Structure formats: structure tokens, C-alpha cells
Structure 1
């Protein structure tokens, strides 16, 4: 640092002398600031289906028609983060299975090698957990509340430790997936808030025991529904639930409204969450109809801007749910991939 200062001083003196003799001023070229990756805006993709898609022979193509790594295709469009779900004892079903600890670690290592950041999303189930279902893993089915609390800790600690041992420290970990009604039903239902709080805090403690710098996310759906979020996080506060970030889903499709009707509500809710609970916010799931490219593009641009507009940079980013999950393979209508194997132009919103 000291040498740099001396060199800079010498350069300034030479420039001053030159200016005096020639009467021609040379303006220094501005230098773009270097923004650390850890503070950059998150542009993410949940890619849990990707290994199975590749295993079944699905080819991901660039615009020139040449096969290319799907993660690289996403990175080329501005994606800098992957979100990976974890199931406890999943089946081998191509859609409803996989996402084991081992598969998750392999995907995280692969993403990190491309310079991508990592979020881990614990469902605490053997398959999908969401607002409609929060089924306990079969191996935990008959466990007591005390045992379930330990199960959450052990499973969380085990997976995050395995990631660390493989050289990947996720920046964020979700304790539960879309849990407006709780998780590990019925014991962890919001009808049993004190027990749900124990499970959430057990997951939090396990994450922090591996690495205290990892941020813990609590995730609720319908990010435009402020009443739902206030109800949930008021209760979480009353129960002393520990977390760092509020995660939101935003799917205009599932509430059968265009984004233009709900984007202002999303903004209002995010701003309220920051002010009311003093927590950062992140849209951890978003998606639009694959065959409405322009509308999905515009929705993504509006969502990204809404998050960026959260005061004091407390809106951390936006993640698309399974953009590469092309419909002929997955049956999912909210992917952002075309039937010809190429990325949808809607993803250019992340550039």
C-alpha cells in the first residue's frame, strides 16, 4: 500500500510539471470500482432438476445451436447464484426424487467452480415440501417433538458440514421451504407455534455451528401478501425464532393475476418487512409462463427493480425457480427454456 502511494504521488508531480510546460491538461482516466462478489446483487436460479435432465440425455443448447453446460448458459445471462434443494431420503424419481446430500454437494462444487454463489434449501422431507404439504421424512415419522428437533439439527449439520468438507461454504441456508403453515406436520404446524419455533431454531443453530457467517433464511410464499407475512413473522418474533433474512416467493401465475396488478404489493411488503423486523429480504423464488416470453421478461425486470429499490440495499436479490426445467422434460409451465433446447429470451432480464 505504501509503495502504491509513493508511485501515485510521483505520477501526480510529473503530470503537474507537464501541464505547466505544455498548457495541455491530461485528465486521469476514471477507474471503475471493484465490487466484491459477496456484496453484489444476487441473480439466482434453482436448478435441482439439472443433474437428472443431463442423466436422461437432455441437451442444453446455446443460440448458435451448439451444446453447452446449462450452468454456463445461465451464467452467460447474468445468473451468479444457484439454489439447491435437499431432501432427506429421496427416491430416484426423475421429477420428485434425487436432491440427496451427496447430489447436492456435487452440484454445489460444480457451481462454485464456475464462480457461482450457493444457497441451500432444506425441505425437511423426502420429497416436495410447500404450503400444501409438509410431510415428515419416513425415517422420522414416529419421532417425538424432542427427537424431531434433534433430527433437524443432525440433518442440517450433516449436509452443511459435507459441503464445507468439499470446499463449499454456502452463503445462505433456508430452514424450511415455503412454510406459511409450518413444517414437519403435524408437530411443526403453525397450530403448534412453540414447537415450530423449536424446529426452526434447531436448524438455525446447526447452520451457525458449522459456520457463523452463513445467513439463515425463513421462507414464505405469496410475497405480495403483506397480511400473511405480518401474521407469520409477528408470530415468529413472539416465539423468538432466530433467522437473518426473510425469503419470499413471487408467482403472479399461481394467484391468477398479472404482475402489473401485484408488483406494487410486493414492493410494499418487502419494504415493510425490512422496517418492521429489521431483516434483509430476498425473492428466493420467481417464475413466469414459458410461452409468454415478453410478459415473463417484463415481470422479471420489474421484480429485480422492486428488490433493488428496497431502502439501504436491504433487498438482496432475485432467484428464478428452475429456469432450465424445460416443459417437455419436466411438465412445468413456469420454466424459462424453449422446446428447442435453448434458453428463453426472458432470462435476458438478468443481464
Structure 2
């Protein structure tokens, strides 16, 4: 095990404190809950009248929101799951986020409805375009969207050019697999990377200070993730941040996440990494749950909080990780008439408010500790710290058994 000591300990301490980190959530459906009259409360039952301001009071400093090309074309089922975010919707919410003093991730789906590894359907208005015209259209669309956001004072700080694009995007008409990208096949990758290059060109021209995120979700298949970002490198795709989805229900344990992060850091050390989607239930499993972690993290308020703290501890072992976002934290059916005034057609079981009571869960308050990577070790005495190894969470160990950042003699030490 090779130990690389940072030679300027004082510089490192300042750098670790000053390096900007981001924690928040994807609140793309918040205006709908507000319009329908959902009742929000803090953990102790006090009314919350401004949810975005409340999030900021809880220590969150960044928010994410999705944009569809024309959600009117989405199916009734998808609309019932929260597909409604057109450009006017996004401009209004984005402006609120920026006015609150938070940074903003704009998640461009480049689809009329949900885009994920199972479906990346081309917007209906673009379906008849050949590849050359599609390259022009994605550039023009991205320029137009960003210009409108800039004009209303809602310039995004981060731009996702695609959502969960592990296997490409803009595959064609609904049901088409013609333009899907596979790990063992070279077909379609040149088309895909050209689309990303044109989208990135638009981002750099209109929002030159924004960081570009490429978002994948194969956390349980690190070889697929590594292949994806290697393809981006080989094609010289312009981006800044690796964005990942991590849901324990679908991506297994934190050990799996830790391995995936280590692999990405080792191979793409020049890129920052953000967990742009995560979540864990507070009472019931989420639909399609594959991995049951309830022996460690029960489906309860305390269990959700415990998972959140463990997730943050894992992320603190990776110096390239600078962002953490909870997906759909605002879901809250409290105060709504389910038969006549619901927002979605089913409860989401992993928000940061209890659908039954509207109260914030304990995990919400725990999220802010992501911004405090050295918390838990400040009380160590000098004599103890000088002679022992510690994790970034303040746990004393005999010696490091795996790669990561550790503390010894008041210095950060990287173990590889």
C-alpha cells in the first residue's frame, strides 16, 4: 500500500474547507404540491410556509430540476408520475431557487417524458430529423433554453446534458432501440458523442461559467460506467463532472457505491463527481426494490437518517466527490384530497417529508453534514491525534485497510 503524504498540511486544511461542495435535492415538482395546498411542517410540527427557504435553513445550498422538451406529449401514466416541467415551469422555479441564493442544476432530459437507461425517446417534434439535423437541433434547443433562463435571472450553475444516459440518448421514436449504445459494440457511439459535443458547445457559449455534468446510473456495474466515461475521453467530449445516480434499492450497498467511486477516481482523477440522485424510504419500500437493506437501515425515520449519515460518511472517503442531491424530497400528500386533488397517482416512499403528517424527516437535517467533512474529529486532543490513524468521520483505526483519505498527526494522508 503506497502512502502519498501531502507536503503542505496547512494548505490542504484550507483547501478542504474552501473547496465548494453542494448538497440539496431535485425539487422539480414542488410548485405542484404548493398549488394543490400540501401542508409542510418542520420535524417538530411547526408550519413551513416557504419550502425553499426552509431547505436553506436546514443547511442545503443547491437544488436540481428537470426540463422536458414538450411534456404535453407524455402519456397519462407519465403525467401521473410528475411529468409536467416545460420551459415556463422551469423558469419560474429556477428563478425562485436562484433568488434564494442557492446554486442550480438544470437537468435537460432531451425528451418529452422520462429519460433513463430503459428509455431515451426522441421528442416528437424531432422524430423525423436525420442525424445532421438532430445535431443542429440539440444545439439550437440548448441555446434557446439557456438564453431564456439567463434573461429571467435564473442562470444555471450546472447543466446536465441528458439524464441517466448510460446507453446513449435520442434513440428515436418510442420503443426504438436503433440508436442505443452498448459496452461491447462501437455502433452509435460516434452519433451519441456528437450530440453531447453540440450540447456542450451551446452550454459554453451561453453559460460559460456553468459546469457540465454527464449523468449515468450503472453504479452496480462499474465496468459499464468506466467504459462510458472512457468513450467520452476518447471522443474528446467536453464536460466537467461525473454525475451518478445511487439508490440502494436498485444499486445495492454502500460498499458497491464505494467501489464504483474508487474506480472512477482512479481512472478519471481530473473530474469531480456528484451523486445527483439518491434516496431511501422512511416507512415503506419504493417500487421495484431489488435490494433490501432493512437489516441495517430499517424503513423508519431513524433508519432513513442512519442511511443518510452512512452515505455521507462513504462520500467523505472520496476527495473528488463534491455534490449530493436527494431525489424528490418535496413529495408530500399531507393536506390533499387523494381522490380529487392529488399531485401524483401514487405516493413516493423516499422523500424528506412524511406523506402522512407533512413533517420533515430527520434525514433532512442530516444532509448538511455533507458540507462538513472534518466534523467529528475536531475534539481530538493533539497527543491522541499525533499517534493514531483516523477516518474523516473521526473513527480511530489501527491502520488504513483500504484506499482513501485518512488523518494522522494533524495531516490528511491519501492511501492508494
Q: TM-score range by the shorter chain?
A: 0.7 to 0.9
Structure 2 vs 1, CA of residues 193 and 137 (structure 1 numbering), >3 Å: closer, same or farther?
same
In the TM superposition, residue 73 of structure 1 has moved relative to its aligned partner by 2.4
In the TM superposition, residue 326 of structure 1 has moved relative to its aligned partner by 2.8
Q: Give deviations 1:257-276, integer Å, cap 9, x for gaps.
A: 4xxxx213322322322331
- State which of 267, 288, 303 in structure 2 corresponds to 1:295: 303
In the TM superposition, residue 46 of structure 1 has moved relative to its aligned partner by 0.1
Q: Give deviations 1:76-122, integer Å, cap 9, x for gaps.
A: 22211110101011129463432111211111110112111101000
**Distance in 2 (alpha carbons) for counterparts of 1:150 and 1:224:** 35
- Conserved 8 A contact 2:45-2:359: no
In structure 2, the residue matched to 1:189 is 180
In the TM superposition, residue 34 of structure 1 has moved relative to its aligned partner by 10
- Conserved 8 A contact 1:225-1:266: no
- State which of 92, 104, 119 in structure 1 corresponds to 2:90: 104
- State which of 148, 151, 157 in structure 1 corresponds to 2:134: 148
**Distance in 2 (alpha carbons) for counterparts of 1:167 and 1:188:** 36
- State which of 23, 37, 41 in structure 2 corresponds to 1:43: 23
In structure 2, the residue matched to 1:271 is 262
Structure 2 vs 1, CA of residues 286 and 279 (structure 1 numbering), >3 Å: closer, same or farther?
same
In the TM superposition, residue 241 of structure 1 has moved relative to its aligned partner by 2.0
Please, which runs of 5 or more residues in structure 1 have no aligned partner? 1-32
In structure 2, the residue matched to 1:322 is 328
Greater relative contact order, per chain length (Cα 8 Å cut-off, separation 6+) = 2
Structure 2 vs 1, CA of residues 320 and 38 (structure 1 numbering), >3 Å: closer, same or farther?
farther
Q: Give deviations 1:268-314, integer Å, cap 9, x for gaps.
A: 32232233122111100000013122232222222223223213xx2
- State which of 86, 90, 94 in structure 1 corresponds to 2:67: 86
In structure 1, the residue matched to 2:408 is none
- Conserved 8 A contact 1:193-1:239: no
When the two structures are aligned, how many residues end up with a matched partner?
A: 312
Name the stretch that deviates more: 45-54 or 335-344.
335-344
- State which of 81, 102, 109 in structure 2 corresponds to 1:116: 102
- State which of 165, 181, 185 in structure 1 corresponds to 2:151: 165
Name the stretch that deviates more: 195-204 or 238-247.
238-247
- State which of 327, 333, 338 in structure 1 corresponds to 2:349: 333
Structure 2 vs 1, CA of residues 233 and 35 (structure 1 numbering), >3 Å: closer, same or farther?
closer
Structure 2 vs 1, CA of residues 298 and 224 (structure 1 numbering), >3 Å: closer, same or farther?
farther
Name the stretch that deviates more: 138-147 or 325-334.
325-334
Q: CA RMSD in A?
A: 2.4
Q: Give deviations 1:16-59, integer Å, cap 9, x for gaps.
A: xxxxxxxxxxxxxxxxx999999432111100111111122222
- Conserved 8 A contact 1:327-1:335: no
- State which of 257, 278, 286 in structure 2 corresponds to 1:286: 278
In the TM superposition, residue 149 of structure 1 has moved relative to its aligned partner by 1.2
Structure 2 vs 1, CA of residues 327 and 181 (structure 1 numbering), >3 Å: closer, same or farther?
farther
Report runs of 4+ in structure 1 exceeding 6 Å deviation: 33-38
- State which of 321, 344, 349 in structure 1 corresponds to 2:361: 344
Structure 2 vs 1, CA of residues 159 and 37 (structure 1 numbering), >3 Å: closer, same or farther?
farther
**Distance in 2 (alpha carbons) for counterparts of 1:333 and 1:118:** 25
Question: What SS does the aligned partner of 1:273 have?
Answer: helix
Q: State which structure, 1 or 2, has the greater radius of gyration over its C-alpha atoms.
A: 1
- Conserved 8 A contact 1:175-1:200: yes
In structure 1, the residue matched to 2:209 is 213
**Distance in 1 (alpha carbons) for counterparts of 2:83 and 2:277:** 20
- Conserved 8 A contact 2:38-2:333: no
- Conserved 8 A contact 1:124-1:137: yes
Question: What SS does the aligned partner of 2:237 have?
Answer: coil
Q: Give deviations 1:107-159, integer Å, cap 9, x for gaps.
A: 11101121111010000011111111111111111111111111211111111
In the TM superposition, residue 207 of structure 1 has moved relative to its aligned partner by 0.3
